[in-house]
Chain A
Amino acid sequence: MGTTDAGRGGSVGPVAVIVAAIVLLWYALAVWLNAPGAIERVLNPRGAWDWTDLVQTTWALQRPVLPAPHQIALDFWSSLVDWPLDSPRNLMFHVWVTGQSTLLGFVMGTVLGGVLAVLIVHSRTLDRALLPWVVASQTIPVLAIAPIVLVILGSLGFSGVLPKAVIAMYLCFFPVTVAAVQGLRSPQRIETELMHTYAASRWQALWLLRLPAALPFVFPSLKVAIAAGLVGAMVAELPTGAQAGLGARLLTGSYYGNTVQIWSALVMSALLGLALSGAMAGLEQWVLRNRRRS
């Protein structure tokens, strides 16, 4: 809303320059990092070579240290068009698997965060009792807690999407809780007193005042949470030796030293993260379309 058309148009140039600079740097890095391998494995056995050969080889290795952008782009594209949607070689198949646990975990995390925030806001005791645990929970690395959660849920007979969603939820609920607590406490005194003069119940004050007032605080946290949930879902795929999902794709890529595959999966997860938080931004704009508070 804040950006004017002129501002948006003016930012295209600088953005293009930065993107071009990154791509150039990337190609240069690829030459530098892949050169030793290229010389040893490809060029020396072949005989005499010059600089052109070196550059061309470093940009086309089978298992480069750093793949060149066009290698990643080609692998990415071919996975999308050369394989059917239900094939593990198609990245969309993995997006579907990881997206499922991300979304389920995000919904669970948002609900958990919202419920915690409502409890914290309404009870001084819970404010003191719950908040430290909420904060402490985030100091445990997700990589450490993921196998434990998977083992425990597995022994209880839960498998498939749910254990992964639980780990995504673990990363999602924290930003939502913090933002929702702040948002539920955002109504001004005069607004609270207005509800008081109407003899409104706590439930009515929550539903008619606190919740709508909290929405502008909660939405930015949802954008953060859904991206965090994606990380959680991918991490959850690592310790299970899962066969599907973007995390599993990263793992198999590193097993076989297939760096190009790792990079395409990374690009895909970045795009998925952008799409998910973009969807949240769209939802935010739609829900808050009539708000303007200054």
Chain B
Amino acid sequence: MSSVLIETPAATPAVVPTARRAVEVRAASVIYPAADAPVRALQEVDLTIAQGEFVSLIGPSGCGKTTLLRVIADLEPISGGEVLVNGVSPREARQARAYGYVFQAPALFPWRTVLANVMLPLQIQGRAKDEALAVAREQLGRVGLAQFENKYPWQLSGGMQQRVSIARAMAFEPRILMMDEPFGALDEITRDGLNEQLQQLWCRERRTVVFVTHSISEAVYLSTRIVVMSPRPGRIVKVIESRLPDERHLGLRDTPEFMQMAHEVREALADGHH
């Protein structure tokens, strides 16, 4: 299964073969009933994400980017339309443990050590303890926290905690990684470092990533495709393919190509705001 590595996710949504579609959203709407007028958090959204893509959802608050991610993750029901994850419903995909989810806050359990926190999903899946230990140690190593495994979450900085939560999401090797503004609460320097690590991680493993952010440079730096959204009602206004190479470094952000793309995203955001 892991051999289905896509060289460049140049394929536009329309030509992705069904078997390689990680996420399919068709005319999905989310409407919250309210006393006066119902709130349309998402209106008839269409989006197809191929396996191995890194897709960012970007837009101002209230544009439904988090709602869209939560719908895909079966954390929120849809009011209309259809959503498929790996060809099945989000609920079935969740029960098949198809995705790892990284929240805005690390959500580490304070009574567990760093290592035990990373082992949590494996423990829930009923894996053997030795195996879970080995996997958790390896994942911690990949986010550069191997020597902190016996610390408790409160002994780590915010950035390190979020790295632990990424290691935890990766622990059971999900095919899809969903991230809801994972670095939103961190300072810019920490954030740059984590962006670089995440980009390298994606480049190495080519898992499908759905990433919610409100930072233009973060979206451009990380993504192979940027989905620009707009509020009231929440909808997609533009999808921008990245022209940047797959292997990236932070210096790329000073190149004309990067700035050009950032400009494009900014324009689309402004257009959506009318």
- Which residues of A does B touch, CB under 8 Å? 188, 190-191, 193-200, 204, 208-209, 212-213, 215, 290-294
Interface-located stretch among B118-126, B204-212, B251-259:
B118-126
Interface contact A197-B75, CB-CB below 8 Å: yes
Please give, as numbers and ranges, the residues of chain A lying within 8 Å of B152 by CB-CB distance.
290, 292
A20 to chain B, nearest CB (A): 43
Cα A293 to Cα B125 in complex, Å, equals 27
B102 to chain A, nearest CB (A): 10
Please give, as numbers and ranges, the residues of chain A lying within 8 Å of B109 by CB-CB distance.
191, 208-209, 212
B148 interface hit (Cβ, 8 Å)? no
Interface residues of B in 96-121 (CB under 8 A from A): 96-97, 99-101, 103-105, 107, 109-111, 113, 120-121
Q: Shortest 6 CB-CB distances between A and B: which pairs?
A: A197-B101, A190-B107, A199-B95, A212-B111, A198-B124, A200-B124
Cα A291 to Cα B73 in complex, Å, equals 31
- Which residues of B does A touch, CB under 8 Å? 73-75, 94-97, 99-101, 103-105, 107, 109-111, 113, 120-121, 123-125, 152, 154
Most buried by B among A198, A209, A213, A290: A198
Chain A residue with minimal CB distance to B104? A190
Chain B residue with minimal CB distance to A205? B124
Please give, as numbers and ranges, the residues of chain B lying within 8 Å of A188 by CB-CB distance.
107
Interface contact B105-A293, CB-CB below 8 Å: no
Q: Which of B74, B96, B103, B124 meets A204, CB within 8 Å?
A: B124
Contact A193/B75 with A198-B97, A292-B110 known, Cβ cut-off 8 Å: yes
Chain B residue with minimal CB distance to A294? B154
Please give, as numbers and ranges, the residues of chain B lying within 8 Å of A194 by CB-CB distance.
101, 103, 107
Q: Which of B94, B105, B111 meets A197, CB within 8 Å?
A: B94
A195 to chain B, nearest CB (A): 8
Most buried by A among B96, B97, B99, B109: B109
Cα A193 to Cα B178 in complex, Å, equals 13
Please give, as numbers and ranges, the residues of chain A lying within 8 Å of B94 by CB-CB distance.
196-197, 199
Interface contact A190-B120, CB-CB below 8 Å: no
Interface contact B110-A208, CB-CB below 8 Å: no
Please give, as numbers and ranges, the residues of chain B lying within 8 Å of A290 by CB-CB distance.
111, 113, 152
Contact A190/B103 with A200-B124, A204-B124, A292-B154 known, Cβ cut-off 8 Å: yes
A interface, over-half SS = helix
Q: Which of A193, A198, A215, A292 meets B121, CB within 8 Å?
A: A198
19 contacts between A and B (CB under 8 A): A188-B107, A190-B105, A194-B103, A196-B74, A196-B75, A196-B94, A197-B99, A197-B100, A198-B121, A199-B95, A199-B96, A208-B109, A208-B124, A212-B109, A290-B152, A291-B110, A291-B111, A292-B110, A294-B154
A209 to chain B, nearest CB (A): 7
Cα A196 to Cα B154 in complex, Å, equals 24
Please give, as numbers and ranges, the residues of chain A lying within 8 Å of B113 by CB-CB distance.
290
A145 to chain B, nearest CB (A): 38
Cα A195 to Cα B74 in complex, Å, equals 12
A81 to chain B, nearest CB (A): 46
Interface contact B101-A293, CB-CB below 8 Å: no
Cα A188 to Cα B108 in complex, Å, equals 11
Q: Which of A190, A197, A209, A292 meets B73, CB within 8 Å?
A: A197
Cα A212 to Cα B120 in complex, Å, equals 13
B154 to chain A, nearest CB (A): 5
A201 to chain B, nearest CB (A): 8
Interface contact A191-B120, CB-CB below 8 Å: no
Cα A215 to Cα B73 in complex, Å, equals 30
Cα A193 to Cα B105 in complex, Å, equals 12
B74 to chain A, nearest CB (A): 8
Cα A213 to Cα B111 in complex, Å, equals 8
B83 to chain A, nearest CB (A): 15
B153 to chain A, nearest CB (A): 9
Please give, as numbers and ranges, the residues of chain B lying within 8 Å of A294 by CB-CB distance.
154
Please give, as numbers and ranges, the residues of chain A lying within 8 Å of B125 by CB-CB distance.
198
Cα A107 to Cα B70 in complex, Å, equals 43
Please give, as numbers and ranges, the residues of chain A lying within 8 Å of B123 by CB-CB distance.
208
Interface contact A208-B103, CB-CB below 8 Å: no
A207 to chain B, nearest CB (A): 10
Cα A190 to Cα B113 in complex, Å, equals 19
Cα A188 to Cα B109 in complex, Å, equals 11
A215 to chain B, nearest CB (A): 8
Cα A200 to Cα B110 in complex, Å, equals 19
Please give, as numbers and ranges, the residues of chain A lying within 8 Å of B96 by CB-CB distance.
199
Cα A191 to Cα B100 in complex, Å, equals 14
